[in-house]
Chain A
Amino acid sequence: MQYLGEHHLWSLAGRLFVALSFAGAFVAAFFYGLQVFRSPAAREERPVHSLRTAGRWAFGLHSLGVLGTIGVLFAALFNHWFEFDYVWRHSSLDMPLEYIASCFWEGQEGSFLLWLTWHMILGWVLIKTAKTWEYGTLFGLAIVQLFLASMLLGVYFGEVKLGSSPFVLIRELPENIGLPWTEFRDYLMRIPAFRDGQGLNPLLQNYWMVIHPPTLFLGFASVTIPFLFAITALIEKRYTDWVLPALPWTFFGVAILGTGVLMGGAWAYEALSFGGFWAWDPVENSSLVPWLTLVATGHLMMIVKHKKTAPGTTLFLAILSFLLVLYSTFLTRSGILGDSSVHAFVDLGLNGQLLAFLGFFTVGSLVVFFWRARSLPKSASEDAFSSREFWMFIGALTLLLSAGQITLSTSIPVFNKLIGPEGLLPLLDAKMAPPADAARHYNSLQIPFAIIISILMAMGPFLRWKESPNALIRRATLSLIISVVLTFVIAWGLDLWDILYVALLGASLFAFFANADYWLRYLKGKWTAGGMALAHLGFALVLIGALISNAKKEAISTNATFIHEDFPANENVLLPMGDTVSMFPYYVSWKGERMEGHNRVYDVEFYEVESPLASWADGERKHLKTSFSLQPFIQMNARMGNVREPSTKHFWNKDIYTYVSYADLRNAEEQQGDWKEPMEASLKTGDEVFLFNEYLLHGDTLVVVDAAFDPASGELTHLELALSMTLKAMDGQTYPILLPYLLDGNSVSNEEVQLEALGIKLRFDGVKDEEGSYGITAWQKKANDPPFILMQAFIFPYINLLWLGSILMGIGSLLAVWKRIYRSLSEGAK
């Protein structure tokens, strides 16, 4: 059947492209594989160029498949073809153009595609540059791509689903097959649900979400390359040579993955309202861990490069980093973190496949590693105590331990699956939950590691090859003195006296100054040589910034309402509209709210005390001047829930971070419908009563409009009354009122009369028999109370050090990469 308006051929094309990329990867793995298991010597002697050419062609077809897949998916998103399940679930018509990219990788299928794409591009760089390493690395890469492409296949073998295709049409979903509406040729026009999609998760409608995922996935993809080199080295027994071509890749990965992780932090800080850039959330942790092990790998590779010894640990770590990326993919995508993470992904039913992906590479690489373990060269002698290599090794080990600890705590849900009460091997009687206070847990364990790393980073540049300890101490003295003095000045200035914090502050300041000193004094501030020093001092700044901004993060908003001694005053300040509320050191006032697209924006004005001396005499409030204004907002999204988004004022030395923690989100009309508890009054003609302490109600006359009696019994059967009154407002304005009362048989109808201008309404309840006074019920609108919001505000001191540090770290790592590429290019030219 031909469906009207459906882009069925595009869907077919998309699936064919996925199949092409899958098949291309398979064929490439086959042809490159044929070469890998010939010894390099034999390859050199009798090169079979046709095999390599075939491998490259196959990889080319694979690349074509990947590019085609991207093209079709973009076309579908761009043109809003909502018959595509992926498009319908992740985008909508009102989507701003720049977020089409975010829609692209919001779903799991899209993020696998992103990963696939970066691998494909890096694969071509390898083909162009890896020379003799091309066979092994491309063989491995093709297998990785085979697994990734299979995630997008979306084919069924009986009940087993292999992959999830982004090109499935909604009518083809298993739950829809056979339903009556799928029989309509014009179902797209008939069913209103197809006219618009579900839209992008409001949290992801942020510019950081346009650049964070591609950066992070480029980082993940570059972790694969050292792994490929390591596996090739093991298979081809080139245990130390691999380090030279793999080093630039490793530090490229360090730079990009590190930036990607911190961009995630920046997004959390800018767009989420949990109040910070890092929350030790499992999803954040699992992208940090591979970075830590990759940094360790890179440093161990330097040792191997300089000493040509003991490559075993290095090879193992390069493999481990990649496996940890796969593990983190499994953690975040399998839904296993459901209870413990705010970022839970939707389970696509690919758990088995993800586990197979992880299992294949874990078992496969371990087999290769232990198969070669015996023939791995051992180091003949131990490194001297004062050698750079020894301390670099200790540093790498510390990073590994730090990564191990984070993995351990993040994996608690996995332990539950394995040894929990409902797990495979029920050893525990209760399910373990993640630490209740995650920040305290991780900080207590990670700060000591960070202190060791910082000290090693500080000593690193001065530990020249084979030098005496005295020379080292002489060189480091200057930066040591500066940092000790500065530590005490800062700790005193900020009142930061926790022993661990002071130790970390001192150690990271030492690392900063030692590397700055080394770069300026010994390297004469040369950019090309300064990569290492810059990266290290950048990382030290990241630590300093993270430490100060977290340890001295201060809530300036407090709720003064006393509830109970068990509840300490919380961090939500009550802001009635128009009031000026003290929030030391500022005064704040909520000016009003407005709609801006989907966002309900709250304008909050911050004031400073202008002249402290004058205000000391006659009160601060008389001497306020506007300091700045912030616009925290709530993104209204009926489908996926409203999201509170922060607004932050950046100063050079601190950030003021605010978000609206509570607001009445009903529209004006709904809010108008609210009446307060009514009040009752009774009065006679000529009497006056106060209403709501604001109005004076005067009883004028009671008019009998009409009355009828039953002629037989003489009983009253029909009575129509009108009570005439006058309402006087505070400003002297008077309002005449006529309240009706109708008795007809046994039914009474006495409608309320509303005074729109005043926001009150009145009802005449009849004459109270005994005194002959008139009963009145009066209501006042709730909206007459000033509306209010609750807001939280925090000061993050010196958080800019963190961002500055991460930029320097990125630049430094890239400089180191550039230096290595430059050197190998010039060596190649000789």
Chain B
Amino acid sequence: MKRSSIILLAVVAILIGALLVTLQDASVYATFTMAKKQQPETVTVVAVLDLEKPMDFQAESSLLTFTALDKEGVASTVIYNQPKPTDFERSEEITLTGHYKDDAFIATEILMKCPSKYTDGEGVVADGTYTQTQPAP
């Protein structure tokens, strides 16, 4: 066998290995229902905050408890043992990584998507309401 073929084989083997490890390490985007079934497997859930439900932050122990709605509209209590992220209430969407334990989703990481600067209400809003404003002195 030529040495170049051996090298080629090794390369292919490593690539396949890396692919398998990646597939194994990759978590899946799940819903709360799926996460509950698959506990205690770590999954990623894309959800939105339910601001109607109470949110509790125990600052002294830095434990955050809130309710989130997943893409199917299923609500779940989420526990996050970290300080409340800044502007958490303003988030538009939250990506939760963690697992289910009994009746609560225990998040280890929260990634927030905040509203884009444009739709933030303060800008030049498209509805023309600014025509009512008084001319500047």
Shortest C-beta distance, B20 to chain A (Å), equals: 11
The 8 Å CB contact of A181, one of B83, B106, B128, B136, is: B128
- Name B126's contact: one of A175, A342, A382, A639 (CB within 8 Å): A175
**In the complex, residue of chain A having the shortest beta-carbon distance to the beta carbon of B59:** A662
B117 CB within 8 Å of chain A: yes
Say whether A401 contacts B11, CB under 8 Å: yes
A563 at interface, CB cutoff 8 A = yes
Instruction: Tell me which of A55-63, A124-132, A428-436 binds B.
Output: A428-436
In this assembly, does B74 line the interface, its C-beta being within 8 Å of a C-beta of chain A? no
Are B28 and A430 in contact, CB atoms less than 8 angstroms apart? yes
CB atoms of B131 and A180 under 8 A apart: yes
Chain A proximity of B14: nearest CB distance (Å): 6
Return chain A residues, CB-CB under 8 Å to B29: 339, 430-433
How many Å lie between the Cα of A88 and that of B101 in the bound state? 47
Contact residues in B for A186 (Cβ distance below 8 Å): 135
Interface stretch of the complex, out of A188-196, A350-358, A479-487, A725-733? A188-196
**Number of contacting residues on A, CB 8 A?**
64
Contact residue range for chain B?
35 or more
Residue of B nearest to A178 (CB): B128
B83 is contacted by which of A431, A566, A572 (Cβ under 8 Å)? A572
Q: Which of these, B18, B28, B90, B136, contacts A189 with CB under 8 Å?
A: B136
Does A309 interact with chain B (Cβ within 8 Å)?
A: no
CA distance A189 to B137 in the complex (A): 9
Taking a contact as CB atoms under 8 Å apart, the answer to whether B7 and A642 are in contact is: no
User: Are the CB atoms of A570 and B15 closer together than 8 Å?
Assistant: no
Contact code string A419-435 (vs B, CB < 8 Å = 1, else 0): 00000000000111111
Closest to A662 in B: B83
Give the docked Cα–Cα distance between A184 and B113 (Å): 36
Please give me the residue from chain A that is nearest to B42 by CB atom: A436
Q: Which residues of B contact A170 (CB under 8 A)?
A: 124
Which B residues are CB-close (under 8 A) to A644? Answer: 86
Interface string of B100-137 (1 = CB under 8 A from A): 01000010110101101110101110111011010110
Chain A residue at smallest Cβ distance from B44: A433
- Would you call the interface of chain A mostly helix, strand, loop, or mixed? mixed
Task: Please tell me if the beta carbons of B95 and A339 are within 8 angstroms of each other in the complex.
Answer: yes
Q: Is B27 an interface residue (CB 8 A)?
A: yes
Q: When the two chains form their complex, are residues B60 and A574 in contact, meaning their CB atoms are under 8 A apart?
A: yes
Of the candidates A192, A339, A340, the one whose C-beta lies within 8 Å of that of B136 is: A192
A430/B130 in contact, CB under 8 A? no
- List the B side residues contacting A703 at CB < 8 Å: none
Q: Do B14 and A401 touch across chains, with their CB atoms under 8 A apart?
A: yes
Binds B, one of A402-410, A489-497, A526-534: A402-410
In whole angstroms, how far apart are the Cα atoms of A316 and B97 in the complex?
A: 39
**CB-based contact A434/B26 at 8 Å:** yes
Q: Given A190-B136, A433-B44 in contact, is the A409-B30 Cβ separation under 8 Å?
A: no
Q: Which residues of B contact A661 (CB under 8 A)?
A: 62, 82-83
User: Shortest distance in angstroms between A585's beta carbon and chain B's nearest beta carbon?
Assistant: 23
Given A570-B82, A642-B86: A405 in contact with B18 (beta carbons within 8 A): yes
With contact pairs A189-B135, A563-B61, A641-B114 given, residues A404 and B82 touching in the complex (Cβ less than 8 Å): no
Q: How far is the CB of A175 from chain B (nearest CB, A)?
A: 5
- Shortest C-beta distance, A435 to chain B (Å), equals 4
List residues of chain B with CB within 8 A of the CB of A179: 126-128
Q: How far is the CB of A338 from chain B (nearest CB, A)?
A: 7
Asked whether B130 lies within 8 Å of A191 as measured between CB atoms, the reply is yes
- Does chain A have a CB within 8 A of B81? yes
User: Given the interface contacts A570-B82, A642-B86, does A432 sit within 8 Å of B26 by beta carbon?
Assistant: yes
A444 interface residue, CB < 8 Å from B? Answer: yes
Contact with A along B31-49 (1 / 0, CB 8 A): 0001000000011101000
Contacting residues, chain B, for A394 (C-beta < 8 A): 7
For the complex, give the distance between the alpha carbons of A89 and B46 in Å: 28
A319 CB, nearest partner CB in chain B, Å: 19
**B87: Cβ under 8 A from any A Cβ:** yes
Closest to A174 in B: B126
- Is B53 an interface residue when CB atoms closer than 8 A count as contact? no
- With beta carbons under 8 angstroms apart, the residue of B25, B43, B61, B135 that contacts A561 is B61
Q: Would you call A397 an interface residue if the criterion is a C-beta within 8 Å of the partner chain's C-beta atoms?
A: yes
CA distance A530 to B116 in the complex (A): 50
A788 within 8 A of B: yes
Q: Does A157 contact B (CB under 8 A)?
A: no
The closest CB in chain A to the CB of B17 belongs to A445
Taken together as a complex, chains A and B put the C-alpha atoms of A639 and B133 apart, in Å, by 21
Would you give the shortest CB distance from B21 to chain A, in whole angstroms?
6
Task: Determine how close the nearest CB of chain A comes to the CB of B97; give it in whole angstroms.
Answer: 5
A250 CB to nearest B CB, Å = 23
Q: Which residues of chain B have C-beta atoms less than 8 A from A340's C-beta?
A: 95, 111
Q: Does B83 lie within 8 Å of A382, measured CB to CB?
A: no
Which residues of chain A from 422 to 471 have any CB-CB distance to chain B below 8 Å in the complex? Answer: 430-437, 440-441, 444-445
11 contacts between A and B (CB under 8 A): A189-B135, A382-B2, A394-B7, A401-B18, A409-B25, A440-B25, A561-B61, A566-B101, A639-B117, A640-B117, A644-B86
The 3 closest A-B pairs by CB, nearest first: A561-B61, A662-B83, A433-B44
13 other A-B residue contacts (CB within 8 Å) besides A181-B130, A642-B87: A180-B131, A191-B124, A191-B133, A193-B122, A339-B113, A340-B95, A397-B7, A430-B29, A436-B109, A441-B21, A561-B60, A644-B86, A662-B62
Give chain B's interface residues, CB within 8 Å of chain A.
2-4, 7, 11, 14-15, 18-19, 21-22, 25-30, 34, 42-44, 46, 59-63, 79, 81-84, 86-87, 90, 95, 97, 101, 106, 108-109, 111, 113-114, 116-118, 120, 122-124, 126-128, 130-131, 133, 135-136
